[in-house]
Amino acid sequence: MKGLLVLLLLSLLAGCGGGDGGPGQPPSATAPAAPPTWPPPAAPLPAPALTPLVAWEGIADWETFQSNPGHTGYVPVRLDPARFSLRWHWDAPDTGLSSDRISAVVTGSNQVYAAVGTRLYARSEFDGNAAWHRDFGDPAAPLTSPPASSAGSVYVVAGRGSATRLYAMAEGNGALRFIAPMETQSETYLAPTVSEDKVLAPGGRFGGLYAFYATSGLQAWFVPGTQADQWTPAAAGGQVYVYTDSLSVLAAYDGTPQGKPIPGTAFPYTGAPVGSAPVLGALGMVFALNGAARENALLAFDTIGKRLAWSVPGQYAGNPAYAGGRVYALARAPLRLEVRAEVDATLLWQWSPPLEDGVDAFGDVLITDNLVFFSTTSAVFAIDLASRRAVWRLNQPGRLALSANGILYIAYGRGLTAFNVR
């Protein structure tokens, strides 16, 4: 662990490349990038000091996929990269299973939660030490979703077929609060979405969406839908937004469809994983990627006008982020961060990382009031929104989360790295 801590500390000294450029159409698809290789660690140095946890006033924890039920990836804080420092690193136990890769993480009650294989782990935000863990079963067929947290509970979908269950556990000690039966086939999903009094979980024998009451686990409703992998709904204002191959709007109370689905696939749906979730903007706008295939499109739906507002074909990866009338999306070819206007998709500016062989996009976009973070398969970058220049780089890839305690999490492989950012 010391060697990895040193490697991460030294990586903060790496240069930050890239720059602005003009709009253009991406070229044809390229082969998937190979996993990054790691240099040998430097000589050991003392572990970083652990400062007290101090929460931002009025800032929520990172509670589900892309932080909140609208999946905006936005945390309304200002950060100073000069204050960033490594806090701790943890590697999950190696069971030898190919599925032992750390999930996207969530936070709550001064803890961070991650699914790895068949287990859910809770680690202290202060020092990364173990708080508790729970194993959900058959290691030969581990189908455990990333977790969601809300109001003192952690939620995970685990199992397959008629043995699938939604589990609710107490954040503090992992005590089981309820187990709710549901059904799936062999799909894997993004984290459940918790909104108001319900937990929304993709499932169904042939696809669909369940709603369970968050405190009791009783099923509120189920709506059949498209059978697809790697998705979760968005929710706000008493409505639920489902995107697989079209956008459906449901009443959160009972799942009743609010009009007909809005078509939006710029490319024929092939059954590939959706790989993302709807992102809620302003004035009824909803953004989505139409699948995780290399050739896809960034879509914007006008749910008031019941129409597809715009579509930008390309090779997009991960989940976009949204804040202040702008959509932040990660394109793969050419590899760049794109910032587009919410209303008409105008490319306002872009930033490209340094050209490196075999480097691809990785993970989702995270936005604050002054910085936007994203990861390639070799590094995490922070771009200043005012200067549009890289102000921080970490030579480690990963999926990102930002807790209410001002800790940036980077999850990759079986490892979880925590950085102080306040």
What are the pLDDT digits (tens) for 364-404? 999 999 999 999 999 999 999 999 999 999 999 999 999 99
pLDDT of residue 272: 65
- Tens digits of residue pLDDT in 101-131: 899 999 999 999 999 988 999 999 999 999 9
pLDDT of residue 228: 86
pLDDT of residue 18: 47
**Which of these, 197, 199, 257, 198, lies nearest to 225 by C-alpha position?**
257
pLDDT of residue 269: 55
pLDDT of residue 176: 96
pLDDT of residue 117: 86
- Tens digits of residue pLDDT in 221-268: 999 998 888 999 999 999 999 998 899 999 999 999 999 999 987 565
pLDDT of residue 160: 84
Contacts of 118 (CB under 8 A, 6+ apart): 135, 136, 137, 138, 139, 142, 144, 158
**343-358 in b/e burial notation, b at 16+ Cβ within 10 A?**
eebeeebbbebbeeee
Q: What is the pTM of this model?
A: 0.89
Residues of the chain with pLDDT under 50: 1-45
pLDDT of residue 45: 44
pLDDT of residue 47: 62
Q: How far is CA 310 from CA 70, 72, 241, 327, in A?
A: 20, 19, 18, 13
Q: Are 184 and 164 in contact (CB under 8 A)?
A: yes
